[in-house]
Amino acid sequence: MRITVKGKNFDVPEHVRDEAIAKLSRVRRLFDRFIDMEVVFSEESNPRIEDRVHCEVVLHAKGKYLRAAAAAPDPLTAIDRVEAKLTRQVRKLKTRLVNRPRRQAVGPDLVGVASVTTEPFEDDEI
């Protein structure tokens, strides 16, 4: 998986870049079909905003895009928040992809059973 870290009007220090790559590469353990990941840092110039550093991650899988964004007072906290959001999305995607073939395999058998049980039993009084 290719990870690209860049800053938009923000100079990303080397230790932040290394931390982002280390923490966000953990997502690959959950689901290994990712092609590339793009991490973009930006900084809000308004001094009244407490969470000034924004971190946005776009994860490209085969035919799917996952996007997570978070803001924090410093870049390392923003990375932690984005990683939590992205982990949740990856688990949801994997569950959906794993359960789809199972539902399709069970689906035709249930249709036949449902049509048989629609008739009333002899003991039932109408």
Beta bridge partners of 55: 41, 70
CATH number (domain holding residue 34): 3.30.160.100
Give the chain's domain count: 1
pLDDT bucket at 107, cuts 50 / 70 / 90: low
Residue 116: inside a domain: no
Nearest in space to 22 (alpha carbons), one of 70, 75, 73, 83: 83
Residue 125: inside a domain: no
pLDDT (tens digit, 9 = 90+) per residue, 35-64? 999 999 999 999 899 999 999 999 998 888
Question: What residues make up the domain containing 32?
Answer: 2-103
Give the integer Cα–Cα distance in Å for 83 and 58. Answer: 11
pTM: 0.76
Name the DSSP letter for residue 88: H
Residue 63: inside a domain: yes
